[in-house]
């Protein structure tokens, strides 16, 4: 898989993929991830990527020309209809659809993902209208730009690539695929500052441990994420 990130802050991503599962996936050749400076696709002397909004208002809007040129050079097309189904052009924006595990699984089946990181007050809407296949938000809170959202989407997608996870874990048997959260985990010491790990976990009684874990996971889900049980 090829992943290209279009941003005015390429250095933000410098070490972001150098850790853990994502690093292993890159090293194994499952994916190649590159961050590109949007300014490389400007044609004016001062490499201007933004301009004032038509109709007035505060802040600046990312201009369409450098973004269309960037996608044309990275994908080989600058209209959504002329792109292969296995290529997706993703705009990270507060106005997007909510990102979900199901969409991460869809992205994991693609051959190329291009992420456009918004900044300022927004991105010229012709980008969303004609170029982008998926306009995505990662949740209902305000970020200062699309870059942290791109990290989140890339991380959750790349770990789903076949071979990215060790054989001990499989993406299929994770939380969010079955509608409840993971159970609480404990490790040594059995008592820490007066707090004991649940005795049942120390017994080696596998059937009782499994039952305790199911119930503890359900309790935790009721308390922290009742929406998952509805
Ligand atoms: C809706 C807020 N806008 C009102 C004028 C201003 C604005 C806030 C934040 C415009 C851009 C941004 C930058 N955020 C993103 O680019 C972004 C984002 C987010 O803020 N929250 C959740 N997901 C995402 S994906 C990209």
Residues with CB under 6 A from ligand 1: 92-94, 118, 121-122, 137-139, 141-146, 149
Rounded Cα gap, residues 64 and 48, in angstroms: 11
For the CA of 138, the nearest atom of ligand 1: 23
Residue 141 has pLDDT above 80, yes or no: yes
Annotate 15-52 with b (16+ C-beta within 10 A) or e (fewer): ebbeeebbebbbeeeebebebbbbeebbeeeeeebbee
Tell me the pLDDT band of 172, cut-offs 50, 70 and 90.
low
What are the tokens at 74? 């990275």
Name residue, tokens 């071979």.
163
Residue 174 has pLDDT above 70, yes or no: no
- Structure pTM? 0.96
Give pLDDT tens digits for 89-110.
999 999 999 999 999 999 999 9
For the CA of 121, the nearest atom of ligand 1: 10
Q: How many Å lie between the centroid of ligand 1 and the Cα of residue 10? A: 18
Q: How many Å lie between the centroid of ligand 1 and the Cα of residue 118? A: 8
Q: How many Å lie between the centroid of ligand 1 and the Cα of residue 169? A: 34
Q: How many Å lie between the centroid of ligand 1 and the Cα of residue 142? A: 5
């Amino acid at each position: 898989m090829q992943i290209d990130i279009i941003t005015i802050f390429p250095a933000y991503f410098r070490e972001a993929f150098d850790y853990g599962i994502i690093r292993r996936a890159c090293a194994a050749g499952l994916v190649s991830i590159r961050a590109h400076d949007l300014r490389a696709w400007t044609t004016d002397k001062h490499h201007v990527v933004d301009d004032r909004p038509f109709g007035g208002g505060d802040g600046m809007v990312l201009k369409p020309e450098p973004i269309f040129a960037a996608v044309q050079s990275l994908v080989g097309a600058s209209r959504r209809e002329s792109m292969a189904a296995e290529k997706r052009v993703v705009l990270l924006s507060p106005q997007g659809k909510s990102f979900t595990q199901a969409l991460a699984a869809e992205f994991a089946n693609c051959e190329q993902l291009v992420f456009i990181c918004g900044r300022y007050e927004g991105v010229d809407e012709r980008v969303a209208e004609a170029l982008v296949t998926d306009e995505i938000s990662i949740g209902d809170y305000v970020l200062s730009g699309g870059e942290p959202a791109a990290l989140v989407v890339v991380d959750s997608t790349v770990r789903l690539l076949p071979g990215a996870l060790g054989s001990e874990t499989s993406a299929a048997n994770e939380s969010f695929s079955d509608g409840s959260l993971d159970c609480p985990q404990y490790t040594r010491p059995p008592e820490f500052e007066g707090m004991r790990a649940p005795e049942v976990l120390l017994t080696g009684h596998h059937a009782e441990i499994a039952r305790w874990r199911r119930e503890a996971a359900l309790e935790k889900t009721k308390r922290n994420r009742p929406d998952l049980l509805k």
